[in-house]
Amino acid sequence: MPAPRRRLETPVGAVTLVLGFGSRLRITGPVAPPDWFDSCLAGLHTAASLGEHDGRLHGVEVLFTPWEAFRIFAVPLHELADRAVRPRDLLGRRLDDLAGALAALPGWAPRFALLDSVLARWSAGGPACAPQVVRAWDELCRTHGRLPIARLAADVGWSTRQLENRFREQIGLRPKAAARVLRLQHALRLLTAHRPPAQVAAACGYYDQAHLGGEIKAMTGRTPLEFVAQRDPATTPSPPGPPSLDRLAGAVTSVILPS
């Protein structure tokens, strides 16, 4: 990339792993001061973070469903919630060693083959996520976070407290907080498709347009109109470099900010 980049990263329903090949990424989290990372692992967030680099970012990014991240990394995912950490601080050297092995390979095909092989091996040897948690997560995704938590717990055969505790361990957030993230993403998809805010509020189950605006402001730092305007290259041109694509298919993950 020929120019520095600043990206606002919205809360999404995925765990993010970045393995750097010698370049560094500066991240300012919702509750953390700015810090520099060569590689990082981030759990589900309830508020936006800021990512910055000097334009020479080189590495690979992998996004996981939370329950698969629990299986692969074998740590309670609440330890990653609203945080970005250096993998070595939580998992020892294995991800640093993987980043080095990937960087040493001559091209992307062998890198992806090695990455797939290693992650599949770790997944096969990791702790199983409870089927009730996977089912509850799938239902929250299907309903865009609109399913009442008491009903969700009843549907999977658990008490609300049991679902909350296992969800926090294996997804990273409690069900209500995870539902809030999924509902935000549904709202952002509709807003960036130029649906009127009042219609978006009704479609996503917010009380009214003011409730929608308050949630988006709290979770992205922008009003709905500001967010949509900053996503529009006609009003906020991106710096030189590759197009400002979202990092996850079907999600509104990012806003490219002026450098």
Higher pLDDT, 55 or 7: 7
User: Degrees (nearest 5) of the Cα angle 251, 180, 17?
Assistant: 50
Q: Determine, yes or no, domain membership for 64.
A: yes
**156's tokens:** 């999977």
Residue 238: per-residue pLDDT: 56
Per residue, the 3-state secondary structure of the chain, as one string, reads CCCCEEEEECCCCCEEEEEECCCCEEEECCCCCCEEECCEEECCCCCCEEEEECCCCCEEEEEECHHHHHHHHCCCHHHCCCCEECHHHHHCCHHHHHHHHHHHCCCHHHHHHHHHHHHHHHHHHCCCCCHHHHHHHHHHHHCCCCCCHHHHHHHHCCCHHHHHHHHHHHCCCCHHHHHHHHHHHHHHHHHHCCCCHHHHHHHHCCCCHHHHHHHHHHHHCCCHHHHHHHHCCCCCCCCCCCCCCCCCCCCCCEEEECC
- Res. 243: pLDDT tops 60: no
Q: Determine, yes or no, domain membership for 226.
A: no
Residue 241: per-residue pLDDT: 54
- Res. 15: pLDDT tops 70: yes
Higher pLDDT, 253 or 30: 253
- Res. 223: pLDDT tops 50: yes
Mean pLDDT of the chain: 93
d(CA 90, CA 68): 17
Contacts of 207 (CB under 8 A, 6+ apart): 201
The single residue listed with the structure tokens 């006609």 is: 234
Q: Determine, yes or no, domain membership for 231.
A: no
Q: How many domains does the chain have?
A: 1
- Kind of pairing, strands 35-37 and 254-257? unpaired
Residue 54: per-residue pLDDT: 87
Q: Determine, yes or no, domain membership for 17.
A: yes
Residue 1: per-residue pLDDT: 43
Q: Determine, yes or no, domain membership for 20.
A: yes
Average pLDDT of span 193-212: 97
Residue 13: per-residue pLDDT: 98
Average pLDDT of span 99-127: 97
Q: Determine, yes or no, domain membership for 108.
A: yes
pLDDT band at 9 (very low <50, low <70, confident <90, very high): very high
Average pLDDT of span 200-222: 97
Q: Determine, yes or no, domain membership for 200.
A: no
Q: Determine, yes or no, domain membership for 19.
A: yes
- Answer for the pair 49, 92: CB distance below 8 angstroms, yes or no: no
Write out the residue range of the structural domain in which residue 87 sits: 5-125
